[in-house]
Amino acid sequence: QVELVESGGGSVQPGGSLTLSCAVSGVSVDTRRRMCMSWFRQVQGKEREPVAGQSVDGPFGGPYYVDSVKGRFTISQNDADNTVLLTMNNVNPEDTAMYFCAAMRDGSRCYTWRWGMEYWGKGTLVNVSS
């Protein structure tokens, strides 16, 4: 069973930076590299929305980003500790949300990352305010 645990959330000022981490367990590093890993976010009272997706070894691996975060956010994966990172730069108040890590086993379908995730973490809260 794939387990995902997010960390790294907190308060940050507009224009600042923050890196979220997702610890992946229940699968090996090689398996995780073939999966599609992603980040989503949700503002209270609104629907969950995609942020970024990537499959390191998948044929359609991306990375993929929604327009609102392109050029500011970066998704990456660390084999040393089997984690998925979301580096957030130049944040603004509209980035305030609960951020969720998600995964799909078949990385060859990573182009469906916006709606195909099978496993979810419980989230970490990011608050952007001055």
Question: How does strand 10-12 pair with strand 124-128?
Answer: parallel
Q: How far apart are CA 12 and CA 126, in angstroms?
A: 8
Q: For residue 60, is pLDDT > 90? A: no
Across the range 20-48, mean pLDDT stands at: 97
Rg (CA), the chain: 14
At residue 91 the predicted structure's pLDDT band, cuts being 50, 70 and 90, is: very high
pLDDT tens across 63-72, in order?
Answer: 999 999 999 9
Mean pLDDT, the chain, whole residue set: 96
